[in-house]
């Protein structure tokens, strides 16, 4: 039997049919106060509420508690009325309490004469895409071999930590660490052996640092430590000595001992530099001095030291 067709439907049936057609999107229509007036099948699938459970209730219950406390639902409606639309890219709450990432827009519902009746929100569940993007963003700041923050993350955190040190009138130590003898280990045991040593050294250094310190791998056999909260140079020296001791213990690779040591150059905010690039450059100069003095030692940057003419440099 043929259907009645669009022409045979009353206005409300037609409106509901149009709303139900895009089943992968939640379409929620509210009145001027934010109470739900229409609710499509996509909204049932995404939010979990049947129409009789949600129609007549405030759509604010679809937002996570923090957003409700911050007044986000009302701010969203005001923006939609003012600008003609409002972005809805945030975490939302399903009936069962599970959260999902909503990707959508809200629009004011206007008559042809411009009279404002309410709002229409169109949302899709973009949780999988959001988590994937977050993971890609995280990996952009992580060294894949050791799981430590990488060079990009070091610079990002260095900017934040220098600002914090300035506010609290504290010293911030930047330790640049180079493994002495790593090339020989890599040549003797191959890249798998070298990788094992790098992971072992990363773990050892992490064990002697505080939770507030940041250990990063810059590439190759270069590491860095950001040590905030210092009040004297002795605090930096104590950490440097702990790092040197941790690095000096042999590592077992395929049943054979592999021995390396560390050289450390230290710059101190603010006297050793007031911005990230300057602190790194000056720690690099101090690292060269530590290597030139015989390795397996640390050296503080001293104003007046010129840049090295030879030796390892930060890229």
Phi, psi angle pair for 295, to nearest 5° = 65, 175
* Cβ neighbours around 275 below 10 Å, total: 12
**143: Cβ contacts below 8 Å, ≥ 6 apart:** 149, 150, 216, 217
Q: In angstroms, rounded to a whole number, what is the distance separating the alpha carbons of residues 127 and 181?
A: 47
Given 88, 178, 221, 284, the catalytic residue: 221
DSSP 305: P
* Cβ neighbours around 103 below 10 Å, total: 18
Contact 60, 73 (CB under 8 A): yes
Catalytic site includes residue 221: yes
Q: In angstroms, rounded to a whole number, what is the distance separating the alpha carbons of residues 238 and 245?
A: 11
> First-to-last CA distance in the chain?
76
Structure tokens at 275: 């911005």
> Could you identify the residue written with the tokens 């219950």?
61
* Cβ neighbours around 20 below 10 Å, total: 15
Q: What are the percentages of helix, strand and coil residues in the chain, rounded to 5?
A: 45, 30, 30
Residue positions annotated with a catalytic role: 221
């Amino acid at each position: 039997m043929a259907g009645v067709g669009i022409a045979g439907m009353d206005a409300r049936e037609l409106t509901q049919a149009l709303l139900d057609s895009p089943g992968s999107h939640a379409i929620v229509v509210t009145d001027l106060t934010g109470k739900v007036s229409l609710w499509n099948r996509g909204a049932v699938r995404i939010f979990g509420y049947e129409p009789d459970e949600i129609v007549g209730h405030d759509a604010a219950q679809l937002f996570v508690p923090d957003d409700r406390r911050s007044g986000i639902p009302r701010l969203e409606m005001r923006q939609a009325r003012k600008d003609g639309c409002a972005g809805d890219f945030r975490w939302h709450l399903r009936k069962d309490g599970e959260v999902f990432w909503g990707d959508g827009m809200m629009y004011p519902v206007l008559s042809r004469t411009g009279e404002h009746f309410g709002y229409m929100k169109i949302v899709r569940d973009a949780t999988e895409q959001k988590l994937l993007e977050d993971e890609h963003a995280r990996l952009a700041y992580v060294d894949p071999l050791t799981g430590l923050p990488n060079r990009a993350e070091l610079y990002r955190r260095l900017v934040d930590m220098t600002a914090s040190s300035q506010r609290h009138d504290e010293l911030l130590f930047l330790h640049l660490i180079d493994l002495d003898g790593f090339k020989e280990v890599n040549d003797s045991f191959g890249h798998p052996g070298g990788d094992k040593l790098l992971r072992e050294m990363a773990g050892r250094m992490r064990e002697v640092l505080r939770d507030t310190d940041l250990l990063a791998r810059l590439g190759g056999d270069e590491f860095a430590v950001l040590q905030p909260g210092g009040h004297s140079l002795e605090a930096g020296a104590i950490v440097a000595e702990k790092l040197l001791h941790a690095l000096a213990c042999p590592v077992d690779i395929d049943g054979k001992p592999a021995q390396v040591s560390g050289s450390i150059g230290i710059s101190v905010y603010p006297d050793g530099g007031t911005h990230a690039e300057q602190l790194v450059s000056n720690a690099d100069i101090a690292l060269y001095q530590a290597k030139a003095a015989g390795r397996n030692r640390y050296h503080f940057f001293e104003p007046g030291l010129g840049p090295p003419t030879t030796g390892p440099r930060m890229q």
